[in-house]
Amino acid sequence: MKFDVALAPSTLNEIPSLAQRAELLGASCLWTTETQHDPFLPHALAAEHTTKIELGTAVAIAFARSPMTVAHTSWDLAAQSNGRFILGLGTQVKPHIEKRFGMTWPESPVSKLREFIGAVRAVWQAWQSGDRLNFRGDHFKLTLMTPFFNPGSIKNPQIPIYIAGVNAPLIKLAGEAADGFHVHPHHSRKYLAEVVLPAIEEGAKKNGRTRQDVVVSCTSFVAIGENEEARSGMREAMRSQIAFYASTPTYHAVMDIHGWTSQREQLTTLASKGQWDEMTKVITDDMLAEFVVEGSWDDIGGKVRAKYEGLADRVSLYLPFMLDAKDDDWHKVAKAVNSDQ
């Protein structure tokens, strides 16, 4: 199992220091998100100031871009990092694609993302081999690539592509066509064992692959503190976060598999009325224990590893890595999770 860190929304001038510190504390990968900043730009700086740590997006929004622009950016970052870049893609949801990015939401998001992956790989193959670009699908047609626009081959052309999702169709697509799958933080062991892994295996069989061909990457909700009082604030923040996710239709499957359908229906009703303070009362301590790992900085790493043993290949904390992070604490977690013991 590998331990990764997720970068807090940061200005570009903070990236070299954060990337170097993440590498020194023993993190295997530095992930960026597409929230307040572009997910790709930090990795150009991170690649320049590190030598070992992998660098990836978790995630970049595919439907806000064309396959060609993503292919170019990823190709450059793979070259800059000597093969350490991982392209993580997500679909987002319809309101964000249409109202935040000003793009068109497809009738079949899974079909479009499948083609998006194939189109990006077709571009990379054309650049690496010199063969003619000829990708034709229902969503994308890429047939023009002259020498003027071709960056040429690179030393490490096999760029892993991860995708993210919550429900079975996208999880199956990961098994079918991706190198890895980013599990949404709102998950439990039961959901991983009974929904995620079987769906990956089902998708993998379609292309003669196995579960082992797909890296499962999880972000763990945590409440960390040296005593009960110190952990309580983070625990309640996680309770609020879980209540929000559980109220959203996209994440209903996670609650339903535990038999908490009535609770998530209650949460949806409260959210529709804007009764946010009431929502946290629905999330009991037993529910919280299914989603959140609690402990001190000394033992949280071992507890996280125990939760994901046999279910995930790489793990990060739902806790952004920032300039004021205590590197010694993070090092303890990295050592425990990365340990082969």
Question: Do the Cβ atoms of 70 and 60 come closer than 8 Å?
Answer: yes
* DSSP secondary structure of 260-290: -HHHHHHHHHHHHTT-HHHHGGGS-HHHHHH
pTM of the model: 0.96
pLDDT-above-70 percentage for the chain: 99
Q: 258: buried, middle or exposed (CB in 10 Å: 19+, 13-18, 0-12)?
A: middle
DSSP state of 151: -
Task: Please name the residues in contact with 103: beta carbons below 8 A apart, sequence gap of 6 or more.
Answer: 63, 64, 97
Confidence at residue 341, expressed as pLDDT on a 0 to 100 scale: 44
Identify the CA nearest to 303 among candidates 239, 233, 222: 222
196, pLDDT greater than 60: yes
Reported as a pLDDT band with limits 50, 70 and 90, residue 297 is: very high
Confidence at residue 340, expressed as pLDDT on a 0 to 100 scale: 61
339, pLDDT greater than 80: no
Report pLDDT digits (tens) over 74-108.
999 999 999 999 999 999 999 999 999 999 999 99
Cα(95)–Cα(102) distance, integer angstroms: 9
Report pLDDT digits (tens) over 113-138.
999 999 999 999 999 999 999 999 99
Is residue 102 left, alpha or beta, with left meaning phi > 0 and alpha meaning psi from -120 to 50?
left
